[in-house]
Amino acid sequence: MKFDEARVLLVGLSLTMRELFELRGKPACTVDLFNSMLDAVPEGTYGRTVRHERTFNAGELYVNEQDIGVAVFDLEYQVLVKRRAIISHFEIESRGRFLDFEPMQVGDEFIGWRVGIASLK
């Protein structure tokens, strides 16, 4: 089967194989990333691999008119870790601490981050 020529039907929605990989792959990579980066790591680019297995009910996924029961996605992706300076910090005794980080450019856009750490008092 040629990847770019495969006909995919997912619960009645016509997709390309690339769209199917993106639809199933991005969430798998996100879960892998959040489960793996529990400790602080130095800045840099990190290569990751993840295997995601998904079981489909009969009639849920067709590839080239063949009913697929199980799909296994072997994914490789890279993560760029960048440290950002804290530009604002305040604490509300009954709510917790709030940190604002300097904006970071991603493509043409700038993204700012605010993190809230709940108070358990």
Per-residue pLDDT of 35-71, as tens digits, reads 887 888 889 999 999 999 999 999 999 999 999 999 9
pLDDT at residue 121, rounded to an integer: 66
> Whole-prediction pTM value?
0.66
Instruction: Give yes or no for residue 94 having a pLDDT over 80.
Output: no
Contact 61, 68 (CB under 8 A): yes
Instruction: Give yes or no for residue 8 having a pLDDT over 90.
Output: yes
Q: Give rounded-to-5 percent helix, strand, coil for the chain.
A: 20, 50, 30
